[in-house]
Amino acid sequence: MRILVKILLPLLAIILIVESCKTEKIEAIIPDDCLVKASALNGQIIPEEYIITYRSGSKSARMADTEIKQSIKNLNIDESAIEMVMEGEKTLLMAHLEDNELAKIKADRNIESVEPDRILSICACVDVVAPRSVTWSVRKTGYGKIGQISPKVAWVIDTGIDLDHPDLNVDNAKSLSFVTGQTSADDLNGHGTHVAGIIGAKNNTVGLLGIASDVKLVALKVFNQLGEGRLSSVIAAVRHVNTNSKAGDVVNMSLGGEGVSATLEREITNAANRGILFAIAAGNESEDVEKYSPARTNHPNVFTVSAVDSSNRFASFSNYGSSVDVAAYGVRVLSTYSNGRYATLSGTSMAAPHVAGLLLTRGVKIPKRGTAINDPDGKPDPIARE
């Protein structure tokens, strides 16, 4: 599910796109729900980079870092090939492997699965605007008070969050970056900050109001300033949530990529089994979500979200299908943005955090009213709203 968004810059007939996308002139009026496609790198396999899962019940399933390194040595593979070890019910290993080393790993009976690491990307065009207290999408969805949601936490797996935005309650100490070479979870792109504001912008005297106003936000940064990241970083972020969150916490994943990842879906399911709730964007390919992870993940605590506009019409870009649980507002949505600003964006990336906010205020029994008009799969998604 690529997190793709559109913004028209006032008075200029161009769209400014993050560097991973092509800047192009606008020759005609663009529909409100038009999106710019993601970088051509989206879904591209990273040569010789692999995500390895150890089999449950195997001797290696709960090995510590030092034991994993020794097991790799036993296969005559240098331990320098190991890039990351994530312990848990099933140990995950990120490794750089040549073909002969990959063959040895695949032949090890302790290994459950091996999948190539891939590039995930976003592409955003930005319409920076002045804020207004209660936006149309928040008003129609419904919003809650801090007393209803504390001490729940919203975990935002995205481009980071503007750590000192005056309208956001970010837990800087718990926020982390999974982007190589970037130690800060501060948002250098803007997408994650926009998502965070929809979820929980403060009920204060500035800016605007989020669905679950004042909720504590934790930024788990997996995309860089160009909107590019790695599948392995997303998997590592979900594993981190599973280890450090509690039942009732909510994870927003306004992201995705080309194809399917069994490892990512398994990590989400493991966390959901612990009572952690997920709001996941359906994606913006105008296709069935069954083609994409994590959108196709099914679990009672996982909500895949399609997008509708302010008139409840199914967004032309939104993915659809039987794995979609609800629709939410995702066309020209105003929220917080990087560097203390506010902006309007479109995408299922914007729809998912509306549901994340409702999960924080209402739990899994989120309110629904009406259905999406012109849903392509013929089974209109219920709209998450009061």
DSSP state of 299: B
Predicted pLDDT at 22: 30
Predicted pLDDT at 167: 95
Q: What is the mean pLDDT of residues 135-150?
A: 72
Q: 121 near 20, Cβ under 8 Å?
A: yes
Q: CATH 3.30.70 region(s) of the chain?
A: 45-120
Q: 280 near 303, Cβ under 8 Å?
A: yes
Query: Class for domain 122-384, per CATH?
Result: alpha beta
Q: What angle do CA 142, 145, 146 make, to 5 degrees?
A: 135
- Highest mean pLDDT: which of 65-79, 136-150, 213-227? 213-227
Q: Is the CA virtual torsion 325, 326, 332, 336 positive or negative?
A: negative
Predicted pLDDT at 202: 93
What backbone phi and psi angles, to 5 degrees, belong to 348?
-65, -15
Predicted pLDDT at 90: 84
Report pLDDT digits (tens) over 317-371.
999 999 999 999 999 999 999 999 999 999 999 999 999 999 999 999 999 999 9
Predicted pLDDT at 15: 26
Cβ-based neighbours of 302, under 8 Å, separated by 6 or more: 268, 269, 272, 277, 278, 280, 325
CA distances from 363 to 66, 116, 190, 198, 240 (A): 40, 35, 28, 17, 22
Model confidence at 316: pLDDT above 90 = yes
Report pLDDT digits (tens) over 57-111.
655 555 666 777 788 888 888 888 888 888 877 888 899 999 999 999 999 988 9
Q: What is the pTM of this model?
A: 0.85
Predicted pLDDT at 4: 43
At 381, is the pLDDT very low, low, confident or very high (cuts 50, 70, 90)?
very high
Characterize 296-313 residue by residue with b for buried, 16 or more Cβ atoms within 10 angstroms of its Cβ, and e for exposed: bbebebbbbbbbbbeebe
Predicted pLDDT at 147: 41
Report d(CA 357, CA 62) in Å as an integer: 35
At 219, is the pLDDT very low, low, confident or very high (cuts 50, 70, 90)?
very high
Report the relative pairing of strands 250-253 and 123-124 from DSSP bridges: unpaired
Q: Which two tokens stand for residue 27?
A: 């020759």
Q: Which fold has domain 45-120?
A: Alpha-Beta Plaits (3.30.70)
Q: CATH 3.40.50.200 region(s) of the chain?
A: 122-384
Predicted pLDDT at 362: 93
Model confidence at 220: pLDDT above 50 = yes
- Highest mean pLDDT: which of 6-15, 115-124, 250-259, 267-276? 267-276
At 142, is the pLDDT very low, low, confident or very high (cuts 50, 70, 90)?
confident
Q: What is the mean pLDDT of residues 137-141?
A: 86
Model confidence at 31: pLDDT above 50 = no
**Which of 110-114, 137-141, 339-343 is predicted with the least confidence, judged by mean pLDDT?**
137-141
Predicted pLDDT at 56: 72
Predicted pLDDT at 7: 37
Task: Give catalytic residues, as residue numbers.
Answer: 158, 191, 349
Predicted pLDDT at 91: 87
Report pLDDT digits (tens) over 249-306.
999 999 987 889 999 999 999 999 999 999 999 999 999 999 999 999 999 999 999 9
